[in-house]
Structure 1
Amino acid sequence: MARRRILVVDDEMLVAMMLEDMLADLGYEVVGPCSTLNEALECASTEQLDCGIIDLNLGRGVLSTPVADVLNARGVPFLLATGYGANAQTDALGHSGLLGKPFSTSDVEAALKSLLD
């Protein structure tokens, strides 16, 4: 059985690497991680994806909104990873759930189970 492919977008490399390790431990295949908007747009547009975990803020005032738009257009569900919590003002992005930072492996596992099952 093929492993599910998860797009990871986060500008903080330590967070991205941690998430990549968590996903690998949970049996998922990681696409990325992508740290820039252009890199994320390329992967979101061209890769075969089961879902995504994207950081809302990609640094220097750059938001991941265009990535969310591409995933929505392709019908790919995604979790929005953010440290802003309920104050994130993200309803218009069409995400399938929030993954609050900081998160644990069990948080990621539960969020993906809810998203993919």
Structure 2
Amino acid sequence: MNTPNSAAPRVLLVEDEVMVSMMLEDLLERAGYRVITASNLDDALRLAQSSDMDVAVLDVNLDGELSFPVADILRARGIAFTFASGYGTDGVSAGYRSENMLQKPYDIKTLLNELSRLRANVERVGGTG
């Protein structure tokens, strides 16, 4: 098992399903990421504003609240993110449909590929906020 170190990329994982969040956190840590988790909109907003991260994965629907305000903060900070939803783009309002979307249930290979792609794009444009 890989233990993330201080140089490992940091990912904000916003997921309201506890078991899914725990599974993803474990898988991401084994893949070499440091994971910051939020399970509700308030925590996600706080972390999006104040935490140091490289990329983020945002569940669209957080127990009935939408994660779009978190996406707005990440956009303003220049932090790359992807949405995750079981509803595809049907659950995403028009202003966010150009963002990347992971289909739930999660496919870990697709998730890791998406995080790598997001990180590569960030590195090409000069870092994160």
TM-score (norm 1): 0.89
CA shift for structure 1 position 13: 0.6
Instruction: Name the CA shift for 1:6/1:78 in 2 (closer, same or farther; >3 Å).
Output: same
Match status 1:64 vs 2:67: yes
CA shift for structure 1 position 95: 6.6
Equivalent position of 2:32 in the other structure = 27
Q: Deviation digits for residues 68-101 of structure 1, max 9, x if unmatched?
A: 1110110101010110124233451377411110
**Greater shift in the superposed pair: 81-90 or 8-17:** 81-90
Instruction: Name the CA shift for 1:38/1:89 in 2 (closer, same or farther; >3 Å).
Output: closer
Count matched residues.
115
Instruction: Name the CA shift for 1:90/1:109 in 2 (closer, same or farther; >3 Å).
Output: farther
The two structures, once aligned, show a CA RMSD in angstroms of: 1.7
* Whole-Å separation in 2 of the counterparts to 1:50 and 1:95: 20
Equivalent position of 2:118 in the other structure = 115
Equivalent position of 2:125 in the other structure = none
Give 5+ residue unaligned stretches, structure 2. Answer: 1-5, 121-129
SS at match of 1:116: helix
* Percent of paired sites with the same residue: 40
CA shift for structure 1 position 116: 1.2
**Greater shift in the superposed pair: 89-98 or 71-80:** 89-98
Equivalent position of 2:92 in the other structure = 89
Equivalent position of 1:46 in the other structure = 50
* Whole-Å separation in 1 of the counterparts to 2:33 and 2:111: 11
When Rg is computed on C-alpha atoms for both structures, the one with the higher figure is 2
SS at match of 1:17: helix
Equivalent position of 1:74 in the other structure = 77
Q: Deviation digits for residues 25-78 of structure 1, max 9, x if unmatched?
A: 1100001x111111111110001110100100001x311111111101101010
Aligned partner letter, 2:44: A
Identify which of 99, 106, 109 aligns with 1:106: 109
* Whole-Å separation in 1 of the counterparts to 2:96 and 2:85: 13
